Structures are given as structure tokens and as C-alpha cells.
Amino acid sequence: MDDCPFCNREMFKERIIAETNNFYIVATLGQITDGGHVLIVSKEHLRCVGDMPHELLGDFSFWVDFTSKVLSFEYGVRPLDITVFEHGITGQTVPHAHVHIVPARMDFTLNVRKDFPTTKLWTYHAWEEVAHYFRKKEEHYLLRKRSPATFDVLWDNSAPDMYLRTVLAKTLGVPERANWKGVDPVLDKQLWVKTVQLLKPHFEHFKK
């Protein structure tokens, strides 16, 4: 799609950490942490991870896990404190499948239960399960990967834009970084440039 920022490689080529047959690993604009905030973006224009065809999900899972391990190593964060989250259409500002991976802990459960008290929080055990239920429900969702095989999902289409970014930014005491469009561009470029330089060597072995 010509008007989609994630469908146009030229728009983020400087921020690419790695490129695979199906995905880009990219340092995000609007770093919430002081570096290390990355996205895994599907090359195919899909609405969200739940919209991914089954044959892509195993590959996607590998890159999420590998990237999480790299972040844990480089930023000295315990593996269980790496935050993987997705605005599954709801809360998206770029309507293209992408997942955030951040070297910091976010308390997802307390916040969503407070902000969405009448909506049940579901637990799944694989990306394939999330995709299966998305295809059945066709409902927007918020997702946090809680452990290697545990996914918390809130099926709700009322979350405001960048909801999970906002939760994480407030948790880390940097609410001014919640909106990626409003992060100081000079500081942000310093952070994402350093992120690319630090992480890229870990992916050299996997060059296309």
C-alpha cells in the first residue's frame, strides 16, 4: 500500500537492524526507553499479528524470541522483564502489523483491569492461538507476551491511540515519551542510531 509507512522501506531504511524474508527488525521512532525499543514489522501489509497467515507465525515467533534475547543481553534486563506488546488494530497509529519489544517491564494486567473493568482478560499459549481467535472474532485487541508461552489478550476496540505506549511510558516515569510523534527528535535520533549500531551485529549471521 503506497500510503503505508511500513510498506515503504525507504521511510525507515536507516533504522533497520535486520531484514528477513518476511520481516523487518527496526529501531522505532519514539524510543520510550533510552535505546533498545524495537519493532518487528511484517513485510506483507497485514492489519495485525492476529491477521498473519499460519505459515508466517512460526518465523515471526522465532524473531520475537531471538530479538528479546538480544535485548536482554545488551541491556542487562532479565528475560522475563522484556516487554513484548501489540496494539492489535485498537490503539494503532500505523495500520500495519508490528510488535513492540522493549528492554523494560510493564505492568499490563493492573492497568487494563483498571481501565477496562468490564472486559475479560484472556490467556493464550501461542501466537497461533491469538491468530485463531482473531479470525473467529474479527475484534480488535491489546496484547502483552507475559512469558515464553503465555499471552495476555484484552479483546476490546475502545482503547485510545498508543494506549500501551502510554502505560509503559508512565510506568517508566517518562510520560512525555508516550506519543512517538512528540519525542524530542534530536534525542530520539541519538537513541535509535545507537540502538541500530548496538544490535545489528547480533543479526549479521542471518543476512538474507
Distance CA 176, CA 28 (A): 16
Is the predicted pLDDT of residue 207 greater than 70, yes or no? no
Distance CA 16, CA 161 (A): 24
Set of cell numbers at residue 90? 485498537
pLDDT score for 182:
92
132-155 pLDDT, tens per residue?
Answer: 999 998 889 999 999 888 999 999
Radius of gyration of the chain (CA): 16
Q: Find the domain containing 147 and state its range.
A: 5-203
133 near 124, Cβ under 8 Å?
Answer: yes
The helix/strand/coil state of 108 is helix
Assigned domain for 197 exists: yes
Assigned domain for 127 exists: yes
pLDDT score for 137:
85
Assigned domain for 208 exists: no
pLDDT score for 22:
96
N- to C-terminal Cα separation, the chain: 23
Assigned domain for 103 exists: yes
Q: What is the CATH number of the domain that holds 180?
A: 3.30.428.10
User: What total of structural domains would you count in the chain?
Assistant: 1
Assigned domain for 47 exists: yes
Question: From its phi and psi, is residue 91 left (phi > 0), alpha (psi between -120 and 50) or beta?
Answer: left
Amino acid letter for position 80: L
Distance CA 50, CA 97 (A): 9
202's enclosing H/E stretch is none
170-203 pLDDT, tens per residue?
Answer: 999 999 999 999 999 999 999 999 999 999 999 9
pLDDT score for 208:
57
Assigned domain for 38 exists: yes
Distance CA 62, CA 64 (A): 6
89-139 pLDDT, tens per residue?
Answer: 999 999 999 999 999 999 899 999 999 999 999 999 999 999 999 999 888
18-58 pLDDT, tens per residue?
Answer: 999 999 999 999 999 999 999 999 999 999 999 999 999 99
Amino acid letter for position 29: L
